[in-house]
A and B are shown apart, each in its own frame.
Chain A
């Protein structure tokens, strides 16, 4: 059986840098930080008091009040970006068979605020269970894909992947593979997360995973800098419409790029720490190239996982050097998390969009907040520090890794016939 080609025909974004794809891209190429003091709750007793929140978001601009009340913020974010992408791809105008459109979404956590509020209400009561009937359907991570399908009537394959911070990339890889196999013509993919809550920040603080640079939120996310001290929690969503190539061509769809490979591996090492030598990161990048017959030398840009943690950034770079050899020095490497913070299960979605936009515009977004070289990092690598760089980007690789030791990589390529 011949596998089909898969292309990107629509995008949507709601991020700490901007609430549409074009606002997001403007923020990325201009090196803007999305970090600021937390507004979603009183964080004055928390070790970390800042985050990369979505700004100026009012649910009433998108939903009627009754509808919004039944959706956790992570589902609202999913609906908003899916709408932008569906419009961008003209799925409705072009009258596509709805049985052949699927939704494969990613979320690392799901409705954390809903879960927290319902448990707090119960704990504050007299033991009588008064759980809201919408508690479970608001909280479960998969409801995001359900909501998108209900709104648009998409009746194809429908589910959510959960692999912590790799979730959205797993969703993309599944969507890619199902279309390759002919099981759907179009899949709305991506991911969303809204974990800037007391439980989210407190939980990650307890893991010592977050930056505690409260006196300078906007410089806290500093991947590859010698003084990095943890990641900055972000929230938001990204949507990517994947479509079978001939199907897209036949309807004259705008094609952003082709997705040519997706690979997965496990560290099989520790629940939260990365393998120190980047063993799993090595395997996943090696496989993402091999599966598509791509030579390492063909890759122009790597959008790294690079969360700004002391261990993670080093092990990922070790793996890149092993996979790419001398070509590692010709690549542009950047961590857009320096600007967006870490959107957990949505990271893979907005970073795939950053990679696709880099191909579209031949601009590599920067790793901002570089102040001091880390002597453990090879200074010959081009980590695209502080300012965007222009270069032709034909092939871009995006890495995302998750707690549990899940590693995922996807490859996007400029479309060629």
Chain B
């Protein structure tokens, strides 16, 4: 697993209070990991802070699973 994927996983475990085994690439924040709309906003903000990127709202809407977050950040992280 890439360094980015490891960090993303750690943030999700911390913010959503889920088990490591649940954080699979296909896992949806809202459907599988118990996040509500506010949790999702908070996650995106944590990604922005950790990876020093700015994720526009229209692109944030497309980040709904762990895998989508990792690939977006692998592409955009500085």
Contact = CB atoms under 8 A, between A and B. Distances in A.
Interface string A128-145: 001011100100000000
A380 interface: no
Interface in A18-74: 64-67
Contacts of A137: 38
Nearest to B46: A132
A132 B45 CA distance: 8
Given A134-B38, A137-B38, A66 B45 contact: no
Interface string B35-58: 000100110010011000000000
Contacts of A133: 38, 41-42, 45
Interface class of chain A by DSSP: loop
Given A64-B17, A66-B17, A134 B49 contact: no
18 contacts: A64-B17, A65-B17, A66-B15, A66-B16, A66-B17, A67-B17, A130-B45, A130-B48, A130-B49, A132-B42, A132-B45, A133-B38, A133-B41, A133-B42, A133-B45, A134-B38, A134-B42, A137-B38
A130 B42 CA distance: 10
Contacts of A130: 45, 48-49
Interface of A: 64-67, 130, 132-134, 137
A66 B38 CA distance: 13
The 10 closest A-B pairs by CB, nearest first: A66-B17, A133-B41, A133-B38, A133-B42, A65-B17, A64-B17, A134-B38, A132-B42, A130-B45, A66-B16
A177 B33 CA distance: 43
Contacts of B15: 66
Contacts of A134: 38, 42
A133 B38 CA distance: 6
A130 B48 CA distance: 10
Nearest to A65: B17
Contacts of B48: 130
A132 B38 CA distance: 9
Given A65-B17, A133-B45, 16 more contacts: A64-B17, A66-B15, A66-B16, A66-B17, A67-B17, A130-B45, A130-B48, A130-B49, A132-B42, A132-B45, A133-B38, A133-B41, A133-B42, A134-B38, A134-B42, A137-B38
Contacts, number: 18
Interface of B: 15-17, 38, 41-42, 45, 48-49
A65 to B, nearest CB: 5
A124 to B, nearest CB: 13
Contacts of B38: 133-134, 137
A65 B15 CA distance: 9
Contacts of A66: 15-17
Contacts of A64: 17
B12 to A, nearest CB: 11
A133 B36 CA distance: 11
Nearest to A64: B17
Contacts of A132: 42, 45
Contacts of B45: 130, 132-133
A125 to B, nearest CB: 10
A132 B42 CA distance: 6
B29 to A, nearest CB: 13
A83 to B, nearest CB: 20
A66 B49 CA distance: 20
A134 B17 CA distance: 16
B23 to A, nearest CB: 14
Identify the interface centre among B42, B48, B49: most chain A CB within 10 Å of its CB: B42
Nearest to A68: B17
Nearest to B44: A133
A206 B42 CA distance: 35
Contacts of A65: 17
Nearest to A128: B54
A136 to B, nearest CB: 10
A348 to B, nearest CB: 32
A267 B73 CA distance: 60
A123 to B, nearest CB: 17
Contacts of B49: 130
A137 B45 CA distance: 17
Nearest to B17: A66
A236 B41 CA distance: 31
Identify the interface centre among A130, A133, A134: most chain B CB within 10 Å of its CB: A133
A55 B56 CA distance: 44
A85 B10 CA distance: 38
